[in-house]
Structure 1
Amino acid sequence: MTKQRWVIKIGSALLTNDGKGLDTTSIASWVEQIVTLTKQDIEVILVSSGAIAEGIKRLGWNERPDDIHKLQAAAAVGQMGLIQTYESLFAKHDIHTAQIL
């Protein structure tokens, strides 16, 4: 039997505190659901938003900028926190993560 592969896309509205940093409780819930799928022998590819929101928080900005260069900077800074969050939550279940660049 061929293993199923699911691609799951989770948008910023489901992962952030109104665009101001990550909602780790919400992310933990998504991780739990994905872990359940992997235990059912389903391969999961997670596509996640949230880097810009986390970057805005880390950079101390009060609102989302319109300038593309500032958005890119926020995404670059926030990506670190996003990946660290996923890594630590999946590690609790002995699941290794990887980022596709």
Structure 2
Amino acid sequence: MTFTAPLWRWSARRETADPSAWCFVTLPPEVSDAVRDLAGEPRGFGSVRVSVATGSSRWDTSVFPDAESGCFVLPVKKAVRDAEQVEEGDQLTVKVEVRP
């Protein structure tokens, strides 16, 4: 599943200029629904293991449910943000695959 969404900083870290602070993209509702359908039994915190690609970066991580939006959120680590030259507010095109 491929989508484009803005990169945002975790609200608990918005007040800091720390470049290593947690940043995320929110999966659109239809992608979140598809992830739920494919995930099977949820893991801790309702997380779902995924493989992710954006630009030339590829990594394995988990997406986490967000009660506020009702969607999953995907953490985008600093090494990926640096490699792809993106920062908070930039649009990021992401491919997500649910891992078994």
TM-score with structure 2 length normalisation?
A: 0.24
Larger Rg: 1
Greater strand content: 2
